[in-house]
Each structure stands twice: as C-alpha cells, then as structure tokens.
Copies of this chain bind each other. A is one copy, B any other.
Amino acid sequence: MPSYSPPVRDMKFLLHEVLDIEQYGDLPKFSEAPRDLADAILDEAAKFAEGVLQPLNQVGDQQGCVRHDDASVTTPPGFKDAFDQFVENGWPLLGAEAEFGGQDLPSVLGIAVSEMMSTANTAFAMYPGLTRGAVEAILAGGTPEQKEKYLHKMTSCEWGGTMNLTEPHCGTDLGLLKTRAVPQADGTYKISGQKIFISSGEHDLTDNIIHMVLARIEGAPSGTKGISLFIVPKVMVNDDGSLGERNGVSCGSIEHKMGIHGNSTCTMNFDDAKGYLIGEENKGLRLMFVMMNAARLGTGMQGLCQSEASYQNAVAYAKERIQGRSLTGPKNADGPADPIIVHPDVRRMLLESKSVTEGCRAFLYWTALHGDLEELSPDEKVREKGSDYMALLTPVIKAYLTDRGYHNATNAQQIYGGHGYIEEWGMSQFVRDARIGMIYEGANGVQALDLVGRKLAMHGGRPIMTFIGELDAFIAENGDDADLKPFIDGLGAARGDLNTATTWLMENSLSNFDNAGAASHEFLHLFALTALSYMWARMAKIALAKAGKEPFYATKIKTGAFFLSHVLPATALHLGKIEAGAENLMALDESEF
C-alpha cells in the first residue's frame, strides 16, 4: 500500500528561503499570509492530504466511479465524506476572492497546498480543480449578477464546476465544434450537443454542478470566430439562490480511462439545456483560454505530484527490498542480501526523479509567484515581467512537468521489479494517472508549438529576452563564488544552448514554419532544463551559505550536483536536433509512413 509524506520542509525552503516571499509582505494577499500563518497552513494541509486524501487514492483507482441507470454518478467509497471535510475545513477558499468568501492568499502559497492535495489523490483534487477553472471564467467574463449568483457557492466548492470543450471530432481544433445554442425570447439559450472527456462531469459530491459549455449560436460564423461560452447549471438556480428544477444536461456514460479512475470523466449530453451566455457572443474561446491557462499550471503540477508520490514509494522500497549484493562488497553483511538502494543504477533512477522533481517544484512555485506579481505589484515593470513570464513559462511548465512526471513514475515503478506491474502495489497507478497530464489541457505537442510559435515572438521577443537577461544577471552576480562555480557553469552552458536555439529559430522559422514545428518539442525541453539549472543554481546558493546548519542543505547540494552531471547535459542534444531542421521530418509522403 503506497504512502505519502508531504515534503513540507522543501516547500518552506522554496517559499521562505529561495523565493523569500516575505519580501512581498507589503503587497495585498501577501500581507494576509505572514510566515507563521503560511507555515501553519502548510502543516495543516499536509495532515489533511496525508491523513484523509491519500488513503483514498488506491480505492479511487480500484473502485472508480459508477454511473447508475438514472444517469447519476457515485464517486468511489470515501470520496463524499472526504470532500465534505475538504469543504468544511475551507480548503477551497484559501486562494479565493474575499468578495466571495475567500481568504485571498497568494497563489504561490496556494500551489503548495494544491500540490499536497493532488499528490495525495490526483483524481480527488480534480473536482475542486475544475471548479476553480470555472470560477476563473466567470470572474473573467461574468456579469455582476452571474458572479453573485454562482461564485459564492463555487469558491467554497459547495457547488462543482466543469469545462465542456471537447467533442468526438474536435479537441485541439475547437473551431470544428458542433454543439448548438438557440437563442430564446427570454435572453437564454437552448444548448444541444454532445461533449466528451468531461472531467468531474457528474458526481455526488456537490448539490449542483455549473457547467461551462462552448457552443455555436445559430447563424454564428464557422470556425473559431463563432464560438460562445455558456453557463449551464446542472440544477437551475432560482433568483433567491435556492435550487430549482433539473436542467437538460446529463451524463451519458463514464469514459473507460487508463487512469484517474477516481474522477468521473463523462460524456455529457445537452438536450435543449438552458444556458446563459457569458461574455460576448462569439468570443467564448478567449474566456475558455482564461480557464485553460490557469488549468495548465495545475496540470503541470500534476506531473510534479506523480513524480513526488512515486519517488517516495520507490525510495522506501529500495531501502526495504533485500536482493543481491553491492558491487563493492556487502553493505548489509549480517543480512541475507543488501537493500537494492546500494546499486548505482537504482540510485540513477531515484536521483533523476529527485533532482528533477525538486527543480520542477522550484520552477513551478517561481512561476506562480510571477502570477501573483503580475496581479499585485505596484511596479508596472514587475507586473509586465510577471505577465510575460506567465505567458512564456506556462506551456513549459505544463508539458515538461507532465513529460517528466510520467518518466519518473515509470522509473519508480521499475525499481519495484515485478511488483511494480502488480496493481496492489500502487506503482502502476502512478504511471497510469501521470499519463493523462501529457494529453489533456492541450497535448504537450500543442504546448510546444504555443511556445515556439507564439510565446517566443510575443512583444517582439521581450519575454524570452527578459528571461535570458535574468540568467545573465545571476551569472554575473555570482561568477566569483568558487563554491557555486559548477552550478554557474552548468547554467551558463544551458543558457548558451538556449540562446543559440532561440537565434536559430528566429533565423530559420520565418522562411519555413515547419522548422519551428520540428524544433518545438526539443526547444521546450531545452528551455525547461535551462530554467531548472537556474532554479538549481539559486537553491544551491542558499544551501551552500547554510551548509553546516542542517543536513537538508548538504543533501540539496548533492542532489543538485547529480542534476548537473546527469540531467542537464541533455541540452546539447536538444540543440542538435533543433538545428537538424524539418527536412528529414517532412521528406516522407503520407503514403510512406
């Protein structure tokens, strides 16, 4: 039976030491979260995640969700009770707006809390996660009346929320969608069509579910310019806030998925369901992208979560499993064999996971902090940089963290040998649950294309230039630090490869857009490794300064050293593949595959 012990020490290291969020104590939101409160929240969240959510993770996988003949859906045993506690304890309100009952804490703190919940039980955490996405869309585009009507109950998760985008014939290309919205005399719309892959589409956790639905108003232009967004409540909400009759939306079936069985992923049927336009007619995609962008950082986080969860269990197993002997002589001479953690190749897999996971956590929190600064800083330049970074880094976080989450979970499973393949041991679930992160909220190839096709060029390249400039400043500032030299050298080399790749793209993409597409996956990974090397340099700087104070710091430096020698060198390979261009990719005719 797998376990999870939230890495609170590492989280506090990042928040207080590396990012030093106390320096923003004068900003709104941050002023509400002084260090002692922040720490108390982290400690309590850890208890809830470990004590309440994690024990339900495997149950959720094995029992899944059940759709009944009346189209209602029951979540796995224990989920409803845990969800009630989750709501009663006010966890969903942490980062929510004060206007709607929230505590209005900074998202850099919120993401640490989310990480714990989602590591303990990803399928469970998706219910509030999707609800939060729907909240963001209503905040961005709703009328004051709509906000008042829905957001109080949604920020608290008394009601759930969903995102209804995908249809059988369209996912990435939403311009193809067919769901119809017919205007009614009272200003509402009748929505009809079928949506698939709807996470948390129907369940027994909340009294109501507010569906955010993309549809095409009768007569609207075809393609992406004719798509509108609608609020479609599962149960109609009366003007006094009480619940009315059931709306014409129902769960047609629960999808048979490879993983995240604890989340009810549904096909949703809309039969003349009453819908309320949110935002402007035919401008629905813009609002949906507000939700998507928020969701993408959260999806990246899920990769981190599976990485952490699977790593912790692999470590425990590698210490317990007695099998064979160390190559350099018995390490457990009194026992019948040594624990397998003595083997370099087992350590290779563990350290790949540990060093990348810790680097990714820093990268994620640092990015989330820029989201806070974009919103809260009084300094226009800081807000601009925050906005630039959020745009630039979101696709990288989404794709790299989920790619790595799957890779690391696979390695962790490998450490279990045959037991890793047997479901009772729980390692297969981490792999299966991790797999979806690379696919949903925009497949990772789409993220890579977003990065090279749009984000690099935005504002005349300002975001990437600012990013490289920040690396240069750090290198210049710390170039004389002898202890930090390996980290500065590693960062410098990665920065060089990234810069070369960026220049290559500028010079070769305009003449042939396929060069950008061909480079996109490699560029995203090169970018992420460079960002991680920056994170590792910053973490190592703090850890070196405090090396004698706590074993934690010495371990951090050793972990970073492994990152430098065994993970970071891949930047050169990515650069080489970028420079190889699109020619060999495009040479084959379709019929030759």
Known contacts A432-B258, A517-B327: A561-B584 contact under CB 8 Å: yes
Q: Which residues of B have CB within 8 Å of A336?
A: 176
Contact (A323, B176) CB under 8 Å given A518-B344, A561-B584, A565-B577: yes
Residues of chain A from 436 to 465 with CB closer than 8 A to chain B in the complex: 436, 438-440, 443-445, 448-449, 453
A289 within 8 A of B: no
* Cβ-defined partner of A327 (8 Å) among B323, B344, B514, B554: B514
* Most chain B beta-carbon neighbours within 10 Å: one of A170, A256, A319, A517: A517
Interface string of A24-60 (1 = CB under 8 A from B): 0000000000000000000000000000000000000
Which residue from chain B places its CB closest to the CB of A443 in the assembled complex?
B417
Count of A interface residues, CB-CB < 8 Å: 96
The CA of A573 and the CA of B518, in the complex, are separated in Å by: 21
Select from chain B the residue with minimum beta-carbon distance to A343.
B517
CB 8 Å contact bits of A315-355 with B (1 = contact, 0 = none): 10011001110011000000011010101111111110010
Alpha-carbon gap, A558 to B513, bound state (A): 21
Query: A436 touching B417 by the CB < 8 A rule?
Result: no
Verify B422–A588 contact, CB threshold 8 A.
no
A192-236 residues with Cβ-Cβ distance < 8 A to B are 196-197
For residue A423, which residues in chain B have a CB less than 8 angstroms away from its CB? 256-258
Contact B422 A257 (CB under 8 A): yes
Q: Is A272 an interface residue (CB 8 A)?
A: no
Interchain nearest-CB distance for A457 vs B (Å): 13
Asked whether B573 lies within 8 Å of A570 as measured between CB atoms, the reply is yes
Q: A258-B432, A347-B585, A584-B561 in contact; A172/B324 too (CB < 8 A)?
A: yes
A428-B258, A435-B431, A565-B584 in contact; A590/B323 too (CB < 8 A)? no
CB-based contact A351/B443 at 8 Å? no
Asked whether A586 is an interface residue with its Cβ less than 8 Å from the other chain, the reply is yes
A171 within 8 Å of B (CB atoms): yes
Residue pair B418, A166 in contact (C-beta under 8 Å):
yes
B440 adjacent to A558 (CB under 8 Å)? no
Scoring A166, A256, A516 by chain B CB atoms within 10 A of each residue's CB, the highest score goes to A256
With A258-B428, A518-B345, A566-B580 known as contacts, the answer to whether A593 contacts B315 (CB < 8 A) is: yes
CB <8 Å contact, A569 and B577: yes
- Inter-subunit contact B414/A347 (CB<8 Å): no
Contacts of A453 in B (CB 8 A): 327
User: Measured between C-beta atoms, what is the minimum distance from A334 to chain B in Å?
Assistant: 14
How many copies of the polypeptide does the oligomer hold? 2
Q: Is B422's CB under 8 angstroms from A255's CB?
A: yes
Closest to A442 in B: B417
A376 at the interface (CB under 8 A from B): no
CB–CB A576/B569 < 8 A: yes
Does chain B have a CB within 8 A of A572? yes
Q: Name the B residues within 8 Å of A445 (CB-CB).
A: 343, 345-346, 349, 414
- Known A257-B423, A328-B514: A558·B345 in contact at CB below 8 Å: no
Q: Are the C-beta atoms of A555 and B592 separated by less than 8 Å?
A: yes
Asked if B587 and A344 sit within 8 Å, CB to CB, the answer is: no
Known: A323-B170, A336-B176, A555-B592. A514 touches B344 (CB 8 A): yes
Contacts of A586 in B (CB 8 A): 344, 347
By beta carbon, the residue of chain B nearest A591 is B551
Q: Return the contact of A558 from the options B406, B431, B588 (Cβ within 8 A).
A: B588
Compute how far the CA of A217 lies from the CA of B327 in the bound complex, rounded to whole angstroms.
29
Q: Is the CB of B588 within 8 A of A337?
A: no
Q: Does A179 contact B (CB under 8 A)?
A: no
Q: Are A341 and B513 in contact (CB under 8 A)?
A: no
Instruction: State how many angstroms separate the Cβ of A330 from the closest Cβ of chain B.
Output: 13
A406: nearest chain-B partner, CB-CB: B410
Q: Which residues of B contact A551 (CB under 8 A)?
A: 592
Nearest CB of chain B from residue A70's CB, rounded to whole Å: 24
Does A173 have its Cβ within 8 Å of any Cβ on chain B? yes
For the complex, give the distance between the alpha carbons of A17 and B216 in Å. Answer: 57
Does A95 count as interface, using CB distance less than 8 angstroms? no
Q: In the complex, are the beta carbons of A444 and B258 less than 8 A apart?
A: no
Contact B558 A592 (CB under 8 A): yes
A418 touching B439, Cβ below 8 Å: yes
Q: Select the residue from A327, A351, A518, A551 with max chain B CB neighbours within 10 A.
A: A327
A592 to B550, CA, bound (A): 12
Distance of A230 from chain B, by nearest CB (Å):
22
Contact B435 A421 (CB under 8 A): yes
Note all chain B residues with C-beta closer than 8 A to A512. Answer: 328
Supply 16 A–B pairs (Cβ within 8 Å), ascending by A: A166-B418, A171-B418, A176-B337, A256-B423, A319-B593, A344-B517, A344-B582, A345-B449, A347-B585, A351-B585, A406-B410, A417-B443, A421-B440, A558-B592, A566-B585, A573-B573
